[in-house]
A and B are shown apart, each in its own frame.
Chain A
Amino acid sequence: QVQLVQSGPEVKKPGASVKVSCKASGYTFTNYHISWVRQAPGQGLEWMGWINAYNDHTRYAQQFQGKVTMATDTSTSTVYMEVRSLRSDDTAVYYCARTVGSADPSYYYYYMDVWGKGTTVTVSS
């Protein structure tokens, strides 16, 4: 079955970086994008960006430009996201999500149909 398995929890100090992984299985890895969505404690969902697993093209939300880097390893069907210069307000659960879509203007859609269980990142001194 389609599955996204994320790496384990992380505790980091302010100013450090963290790299979270998301290993895909059960489908053709290069046929989809992978989005990253985070959720601060008690808060809603925030889309950070996505990577096209076919060509490694990325698209980041403006607030994450320069702070986040997404990359793929097609040999292991794994997506990585690095978040740099961590602050306390980066404390959140980070989810990866397979993103289905079509940019064809006549049939335009994108949705996140399969999600990982999330990786808790805690930033604390």
Chain B
Amino acid sequence: DIQMTQSPSSLSASVGDRVTITCQASQDIRNNLNWYQQRPGKAPQFLIYAASNLGSGVPSRFSGSGSGTDFTFNITSLQSEDVATYYCQQYDTFPLTFGGGTKVEIK
């Protein structure tokens, strides 16, 4: 199985800050990577597909980039409603696998 490693595992930032999360795949997955947000106590929500394509209705402060084994997820200006755990997920090879998650909190 492809292992997905996210860092950091948690972070604390102020409202308005730029937040960056990285995701590394254990092998080349081209751009076959998605990002999800999971608010506390809620189901995950889809954000980004194919590494950099925003889902419908997803705020433009979210963005993603990368290809191969190294990917980045950004929130350009952190809002209070962005408090959540963020997961990357590869779909290049079955089984689909998720990263361990990055918990984002407000400082």
Interface string of B40-62 (1 = CB under 8 A from A): 00111110011000010000000
Tally of contact residues, B, Cβ under 8 A: 24
A80 at the interface (CB under 8 A from B): no
Chain A: which residue is nearest B34 at the CB level? Answer: A111
B49→A109 contact, CB < 8 A: yes
Q: Which residues of B contact A47 (CB under 8 A)?
A: 89, 95-98
Majority SS at the chain B contact face: loop
B99 at the interface (CB under 8 A from A): yes
Alpha-carbon gap, A120 to B56, bound state (A): 29
Tally of contact residues, A, Cβ under 8 A: 24
Chain B: which residue is nearest A45 at the CB level? Answer: B98
Alpha-carbon gap, A45 to B46, bound state (A): 13
B100→A44 contact, CB < 8 A: yes
A112 at the interface (CB under 8 A from B): yes
Chain A: which residue is nearest B35 at the CB level? Answer: A111
Return the contact of B46 from the options A46, A108, A113 (Cβ within 8 A). Answer: A113
B55→A113 contact, CB < 8 A: yes
